[in-house]
Structure 1
Amino acid sequence: MTTTAKPDAVGVARTRIEGRDKVTGAARYASEIPFTELAHGWLVLSTIARGRIRAIDDAAVRALPGVLTVLHHGNAPRIKDDVIGALGRPDPIVEVFQHDRVPHAGWPVALVVAGTSEQAREAAEALVVTYDEEPHDVSFDADKEGAYVPQDAETVKGDVEAELAASTVVLDAAYTTPEQHHSAMEPHAVTVRWDGGRLEVFDSNQGSKWVADDLANLFSLDLSAVRVRSEHVGGAFGSKGLRSHHVAAVMAATELQRPVRIALTRRQVFAITGYRSPTAQRVRLGADADGRLRAFAHENRSMTSTLREFVEGSAGFGRTMYDSVAHHSVDRVVPADVGTPTWMRAPGEAPGSFAVESAMDELAEKLGMDPIALRVRNEPTAGPISGLPFSSRNLLACFEEGARRFGWADRDPRPRVRREGNRLIGTGVAACTFPSGAAPSTASVTAEPDGTFTVRITAADVGTGARTALTVLAADALDTAPERVHVRIADSDFGAAWVAGGSMGTRSWGWAVMAAARDLREQLTLRGTEIPAAGVTVTTNTAELIAQLAQKERYAFGAQFAEVAVDVTTGEVRVTRLLGVFAAGRIVNPLTARSQLVGGMTWGLSMALHEEAVRDETFGSHVGADFAGYHFAANADVPVIEADWVPDEDPDDPVGIKGVGEIGIVGTAAAIANAVWHATGSRQRHLPIRPDRVLLAEADRAGHDA
């Protein structure tokens, strides 16, 4: 068989393959797929923050119109409580209806299933649950007792205290970030049915095989007995793994022997699908007069639940960024009566970069140095802690190109010198980085008799354009046109594959697809015959190939530049310019890559100025757990954002992709906070930078000047 000569595939801007279906409504999401005899479930969440269920009066609810069943700890099936999946132990909230304990507000205590969603909701709201309440604690601050250091959460090199004492200039500052939520456009939803003795799950998730295997293990089923599909996902950002609604839906579908759908409300999403923990961070830097770092110390404290330890590893950010004689970084966690935090876009790096990059700016001010020059002075030649060589590290080129485009050389470094009416104008900069890993994945590529190719891989396209990128990579490896390649994803039957997370998805899947495609080309060359009706298929797993990556440190890098206008009468901060320049390896599709970078930077702006989840300490639940009460950046808040990249090739990397899904958010908040200092002369060390905080800083300045 001969393939059709292709135009260039990789590096050419291409619209999403499924884009037309999405904008016309033809693409169906998890809560939109039609089923015969579909029943609807509605979760009932606890209204107390800690205690036990005394009673659930379900008799009256069962008699309501359309109600099919009510599940709770008194009648639900038992599931395993010791499951360890591909990404570790599932969030303990999946162990629903197994006991009468309530460990935090919003804990699922019952599921009402009815013929329509309206009937289910009405019945769920009528269900009477009584509790025996216990004292609870949902507070978090830098000095709260009970904090401890998790395993492998501390790194030490040299004597930080001695180097601080020997430093010419020392900075010691505290920074905080609030609890934040994923807020994906599509709320979590799942539909479950039994078909021929097999459990079929139609879901919105970040890894269908991951969810399928965890469900199989929880319900003591053979792995082959569960199939999970997640064709289209309207955003995830770390929150869409196995959750309580999956388990509850399986229980109900098993009892009723009919399809059951559970679609969470926005308030329920806030309560039971994870979040980014608040952080309290302390950064201490010591430097010689020329800006050379002698000491780098970063202490981070975050909140975890009493159910399971989760670490927001913010202290890890500096372990890759800056060289210093001595280094000490440590993450501590403090348990509270709250739901378990989880991964959220750029976990650790997003809040960690705010503290470190703000501190570097403050140190530059103390030294009288340009902030970029300080970073250049402390650029490492190898991993500052590991000593391993970098696969590639083109951060300085990002600063050079970004400074040129942003006009950094014309910047007056003095704060509070540019004014336009009531608005003070300032600019700021920050560095960013994110790991570039890969995980074993399985891909199959089939040569079809009609001259096309079919790729099958359990990838998840959560809005990143992964489906399109994989099509391009397959076409390149097959030496054919992308239009002749059909990529099927998000079906657990396609085998094990990494999830859409850690900026490793397209990199891991792409490697598997490329390897399978190249093997198929070799087979087709050897065959020299027509393709049989069943096609010719090659399946490849990259587990053995990935071992070679451990010999180097692999990261993407970037430089963020921000300009702000601060209204000193209202305290409002407006970002007027935002530029990010990145060294992110091989860019497969410039169109969707830029979209990811701009999206991440938008989130960084939102993190800097808006996002802040607040808990009512009396009741333990969130205040304003919806899009009215939890504000994030809308179109009117966002200027035209520029995102671009510099060449960043690694000849030793067989795939070359570094991932761009998360690095865009890293450093953005710090660049904006640094710009606010340049505008006003006051440091904002606590996010978000609300108007009241700006006005308070202005009042303090006025009082000090008086």
Structure 2
Amino acid sequence: MTKLQNAIVGGVRAVIGHVPESWLPGGTPDPLIDKRVTLGEQQSRVDGPDKVRGAARFAAEVAMENLLYAAFVHSTIARGRIADIDVSAAAAASGVALVMTYRNAPKMSVPPPIGMTNLKAAGNHTLPIMQDPEIRWNGQVVAVVLAETREQADHAATLVRVRYDAAPARTRFEEGKASAYTPESILVERNRIEKGGPSRKFAEAAFKIDAVYTTPWENHNPIEPHAATIVWRDGKLIVHDATQMIHGTAGSLAKIFGPNAGDVEVSSPYVGGGFGAKGLWDHQILGAAAAKLADRPVRVALSRASMHRLIGGRMQTEQRVALAANADGKLNGLLHHGFGVRPLHSICDEGFTLTGRSLYASESFDIVQHYVDLDLLANSFMRGPGETPGTFAIECAMDELAHAIGMDPLELRRRNVATRDPLSGAPHSQSAMMEAYDLGATRIGWDRRLAEPGVRREGEWLIGMGCASGTFPFMRMPGTSVRITIDASGHAHVSSAAHEMGMGTATVQRQHAADRLGLPLDRVTVTIGDSSLPFASFAGGSSQTASLAAAISSASAKLVAELMRIAGNDTPLAGLKPSEVEFSDGGVCSVGDHARQESFASILRRANRSDLSVVGESGAPLEIMKYSMHSTSANFCELRVSEVTGEIRVDRLVGAFDCGRILNAKTASSQFKGGMIMGLGMALTEETLLDERTGRILSTSLADYHVPVHLDVPDIEVLWTDIPDPRTPLGARGIGEIGTTGVAAAIANAVFNATGKRVRDLPLTLDKLV
């Protein structure tokens, strides 16, 4: 069991509730792994019709009377102090109700940091917010303007005049490397790993490669910009937020402003994309503070420019990977060192070196990463944090090693796939990486690939194919709770403070509850997205589906016991124990004798009850105490590169995934494709441009920060093994992030196969190929 797993389990062991025996190491697999009715079907998302009609209410669309609109003034230096700030012209501007600066802002505590053992916190950095004149990064908010309209607020913000006493700022990555710090742990895993005598193994190896790979700073650009509508009412703070951390946001705001946790209400029924970005940042805190001062509701809706200056993204990395192999391609040594930008005030550990610990077997390992502390915005989680930049380096290095040996790069991977955890020796809970390689290779037509680079061409276009593996760990958060209510008509209502960011959470859990309770889909409703509902952890780490599934299973076990208790003796079920009955056809029946059955409605009617509610908890993820648990992927790319301009055109992407049981083929396919498109953007276009002289972000719009649009996206095919993991709820593992890992490397490797040019620096812009 790793330290990270210990932290997840041990940090909550004292507060967990019922743990189903099936989740224990060596326990019985979930019966719904094989006994399914709607799970696995292509069900459309239940929230789809409301979103298409415009009926879904997002955070910036909540109607409130007497509403004020907020605009932010950002600092223009990276380090120093506010020498003077003149807000008189802004305060006198038409429609302005309030200008807030550090001089009149209410007292606010530092946001409590999010952590694996503190799921009721959501802070992304540990800096004070508008409590003093100190400037800590270029883009920090120095004034908040509230006005009657958004246009008035934006105009008044331009009238605020700020004079700074600038101090020397650390904004250059290369200079920062000289004073980089080396943490003892990365995500509580030991940082430095030396195993098996790597120096000797490298010296003895028949083949070796040693190269440096770089990935840039990347920003989030969800379709819905960050927004919140905020009001203080009768001493309570009510926040309608675009968040993937409902209870974490509520808990953090309670600590920041001092009210009891129960006096903060957070609602977030719909989120237009999150990818790790939709946590607690300065804008919600400043909006709540300004609403308190003005004693009126406030709406904060960030512009793209404000998003890029206030919301952290993927850290910049420089990674050295060295691989050593014997004559038949078996790895003797794997070295993975690197630098990443992580300011000391940032919460996010981006473990890009964790990738090399799980994918491949090797006789020796040498792994360590260092962080560069710069005067910049805190980095944060971004789809597949750590594993996404990590797989780019590892998988490009594997391709280079295959070329050096003269071996097919897919065959090299096959020969080195780990059959158990390479470092701990723990067995895999389930792994079918070879099947994923077979599926993807067949679909892409890998046998058409020519080993010699630059040989295939059509006119000016050089054609190539590349492959790469991907990985992301299984996670399931403790403490996630679900309430199941059966009403007098026999309908089931499932509720939890979980999150719907477009990935299909409500849809899949509706399918799960229907199958678990023996009900048709139209007799099950799911309500999520509000802190008044039972606790749910954040939607991150590809953990939400498994966490909710465990909680629904726990709740259904309690529901059986309660139904049998209130059924009494005047029932066909009399004399049976809860373990001797099961859900079926809208009621409870004897296992093996469905003639002994009674409907939910009948039981409630005889008990003179209008409904029956139970709450189940997910319990500690004890399955990770014994097993190494990872989702994996095999990524394939076919593309062409113009010999004249260096333009890259990706023709096909194929992703084959081993993620346990797939619960909804339609939403899963969408998730996989979305992740692969993010990998496409990482490979070809995405890069945050920083002026290292001033620390100012330059690419603050979608005109300057390029994400893939429709014409950039090629034909994408996704496949999966659909082999259940017997150690997880429903046999499933999370799929939200595995789609992104490995994609950039597959594209870079295809570029090499097409051109013979090895580009180790993302993005793969045409200037690097001409």
Task: For 1:382, give the aligned amino acid.
Answer: R
Q: Equivalent pairs: percent with the same residue?
A: 39
Aligned to 2:146: 113
Once superposed, what is the RMSD of the aligned Cα atoms?
1.6
Matches within 5 A, 1:117-516: 117-141=150-174, 144-152=177-185, 153-308=191-346, 310-440=348-478, 441-516=480-555
Deviation at 1:141, TM superposition (A): 3.6
2:616 equivalent to 1:540: yes
Which stretch shifts more, 149-158 or 283-292?
149-158
Aligned to 2:135: 102
- Matched-pair contact (CA < 8 Å) for 2:510–2:521: yes
SS of the residue corresponding to residue 419 of structure 2 reads: coil
Aligned to 2:675: 600
- Matched-pair contact (CA < 8 Å) for 1:94–1:242: no
d(CA) in 2 for partners of 1:210, 1:582:
31
| Residues 1:661 and 1:89: Cα distance change in structure 2 (over 3 Å) | closer
Aligned with 1:11 (options 31, 34, 40)? 40
Deviation at 1:331, TM superposition (A): 1.5
Aligned with 2:705 (options 601, 610, 630)? 630
**CA shift digits 1:635-671 (9 cap, x unpaired):** 1111110011013222233332211111011000101
d(CA) in 1 for partners of 2:729, 2:505:
18
- Matched-pair contact (CA < 8 Å) for 1:306–1:338: no
Which stretch shifts more, 352-361 or 446-455?
446-455
Task: For 1:540, give the aligned amino acid.
Answer: G
2:100 equivalent to 1:71: yes
- Matched-pair contact (CA < 8 Å) for 1:42–1:124: yes
Deviation at 1:215, TM superposition (A): 0.5
Task: For 1:107, give the aligned amino acid.
Answer: Q
Aligned to 2:3: none
**CA shift digits 1:47-91 (9 cap, x unpaired):** 111110011112232222211111111111111237345256723
| Residues 1:109 and 1:93: Cα distance change in structure 2 (over 3 Å) | farther
**CA shift digits 1:358-413 (9 cap, x unpaired):** 00011011111111111111122210011111101111100011111221123221
SS of the residue corresponding to residue 96 of structure 1 reads: coil
Task: For 1:315, give the aligned amino acid.
Answer: T
d(CA) in 1 for partners of 2:537, 2:346:
23
2:695 equivalent to 1:620: yes
Deviation at 1:197, TM superposition (A): 2.5
Aligned with 1:684 (options 735, 743, 759)? 759
d(CA) in 1 for partners of 2:323, 2:487:
61
SS of the residue corresponding to residue 219 of structure 2 reads: coil
Aligned to 1:704: none
SS of the residue corresponding to residue 311 of structure 1 reads: coil
- Matched-pair contact (CA < 8 Å) for 1:436–1:504: yes
- Matched-pair contact (CA < 8 Å) for 2:314–2:382: yes
Aligned with 1:35 (options 56, 61, 64)? 64
Aligned to 2:90: 61
| Residues 1:561 and 1:45: Cα distance change in structure 2 (over 3 Å) | same
| Residues 1:439 and 1:142: Cα distance change in structure 2 (over 3 Å) | farther
Task: For 1:174, give the aligned amino acid.
Answer: V
Deviation at 1:142, TM superposition (A): 9.0
TM-score computed with the length of structure 1 as normaliser: 0.95
Aligned with 2:79 (options 50, 55, 58)? 50
Task: For 1:627, give the aligned amino acid.
Answer: L
Aligned to 2:732: 657
SS of the residue corresponding to residue 69 of structure 1 reads: strand
- Matched-pair contact (CA < 8 Å) for 2:336–2:353: yes
Task: For 2:398, give the aligned amino acid.
Answer: M
Matches within 5 A, 1:547-626: 547-626=622-701
> Which blocks of at least 5 consecutive residues in structure 1 are unaligned?
1-5, 696-706
| Residues 1:142 and 1:291: Cα distance change in structure 2 (over 3 Å) | farther
SS of the residue corresponding to residue 333 of structure 1 reads: strand
Deviation at 1:682, TM superposition (A): 1.1
SS of the residue corresponding to residue 530 of structure 1 reads: helix
SS of the residue corresponding to residue 402 of structure 1 reads: helix
Deviation at 1:510, TM superposition (A): 2.0
Task: For 2:448, give the aligned amino acid.
Answer: D
**CA shift digits 1:296-344 (9 cap, x unpaired):** 0001210022533643211110100011111011121011110010010
Deviation at 1:97, TM superposition (A): 1.0
**CA shift digits 1:526-555 (9 cap, x unpaired):** 4332255651101011224x2243211111
d(CA) in 2 for partners of 1:687, 1:38:
44
- Matched-pair contact (CA < 8 Å) for 2:122–2:249: no
d(CA) in 1 for partners of 2:39, 2:52:
25
d(CA) in 2 for partners of 1:162, 1:222:
59
Task: For 2:52, give the aligned amino acid.
Answer: V
Aligned to 2:604: 530
SS of the residue corresponding to residue 158 of structure 2 reads: helix
- Matched-pair contact (CA < 8 Å) for 1:215–1:226: yes
Deviation at 1:496, TM superposition (A): 2.2
